Amino acid sequence: MSRSVRLIFNPVAGQGDSEQELALIKSLLADLNLDVCLTSEDVGADVLAQEAVEHGVDAVIVSGGDGTVSAAAKALMQTEVPLGVIARGTANAFANALEIPTTIEGACQTILKNYTQKIDIASCNGHPMVLLAGIGFEAETVAKANREAKNRFGILAYVLAGLRQLRDLEHFETEVETDDKIISFTASALTVANAAPPTSVLAQGPSGLVVDDGLLDLTIVAPANRASAITATYHLFQSALSGNPADRDDIGYLRSRRFKITTNPPQKVVLDGEMSGTTPLDIYCIPAGLTVFLPPPNEEAAATEKLEGLPDLVIESKD
């Protein structure tokens, strides 16, 4: 194979030996004309991917965590240059959501099979979003899971941080505007998802998220107290495993092409696993905006919406 491919490798991602992992990737992809570039504090995956597109490469492969993937996607969105993913992060949510193997060997085999599919991507306050934006509880949890904790405990760092965050569970007033309505309610967590694996439990209100339907999914979690928050989270996890939408009075969800979200007070935001300022947010879907190397896709069921039962819910028509 003579494809010209840029490999963007994040040497600080994950918990493994980065030198050994890079050597393994290079050996597995030896049939490709591989141009290897490492990210650094000064040069990110977005810059390296943009250079690759300008140089006319046939594909870009990213090896790192979800933040590295999202950064590279900024340069690849709305181009015909496909993205390959070799997941080496803490959560690897993008790979898991799209059923890309999370072993280096499996991911490389997926790329070499040369099967691609166009999926949706989103823009969140001008930044690319391949996965999701979390507001409130999830953002506070990610903020508490620092690099040292992730290096030491892996994905368990997020669980531990979430348990700590439950002690400080807060509610906030929210207004969400879609193309056809404005809704107001009180919540503790909001998640707008383009794609999300079952482990991203706060995005699982509708379950069965569809990555190529031209729409985004909003999950609203509004527990009355810590005990309710724990049971609501467990219910969302069960929804993800069963494929059935959530069915609790303190969980709501809806689907739209665009969401404009304001909160009082302003809330922290996590975007594709990285902290990204505070609300308000303007998020819209870019249908078929990214081409990705994938295994053959599986059909997934779409959900509609459920908004009844949320505290202080007010819905206004925009007509």
Q: What pLDDT tens digit does each residue of the chain (319 aa) get? A: 457 999 999 999 888 899 999 999 999 999 999 999 999 999 999 999 999 999 999 999 999 999 899 999 989 999 999 999 999 987 788 999 999 999 999 999 999 999 999 999 999 999 999 999 999 877 777 665 555 545 554 544 444 444 455 556 788 999 999 999 999 999 888 999 999 888 787 888 887 788 999 999 999 988 888 778 778 777 877 887 787 888 888 889 999 999 999 999 999 998 988 888 999 999 999 999 999 999 866 544 445 566 666 777 776 777 6
- Do residue 77 and residue 49 come from a single domain? yes
* CATH number for the domain harbouring residue 218: 2.60.200.40
Nearest to 147 by CA among 24, 37, 273: 273
- Do residue 132 and residue 279 come from a single domain? yes
- Do residue 152 and residue 255 come from a single domain? yes
**Domain boundary residue among 91, 114, 137?**
114
pTM for the full predicted model: 0.82
- Do residue 238 and residue 308 come from a single domain? yes
Let me know if residue 119 belongs to a domain. no
197 is in which domain, residue-wise? 127-287+298-317
State the pLDDT at residue 19.
Answer: 95
State the pLDDT at residue 157.
Answer: 45
**CB atoms closer than 10 angstroms to residue 289:** 21
Let me know if residue 264 belongs to a domain. yes
Let me know if residue 109 belongs to a domain. yes
Tell me the residue type at 64.
Answer: G
Let me know if residue 122 belongs to a domain. no
Number of domains in the chain: 2
Q: Rounded distance, CA 135 to CA 150, Å?
A: 21
DSSP calls for 53-119: HHTT-SEEEEEE-HHHHHHHHHHHTTSS--EEEEE-SSS-HHHHHTT--SSHHHHHHHHHTT-EEEE
- Do residue 189 and residue 307 come from a single domain? yes
Contact present, 151 and 284 (Cβ < 8 Å) = no
State the pLDDT at residue 299.
Answer: 42
Let me know if residue 121 belongs to a domain. no
State the pLDDT at residue 297.
Answer: 61
- Do residue 101 and residue 147 come from a single domain? no
- Do residue 302 and residue 168 come from a single domain? yes
**Domain boundary residue among 53, 79, 114?**
114
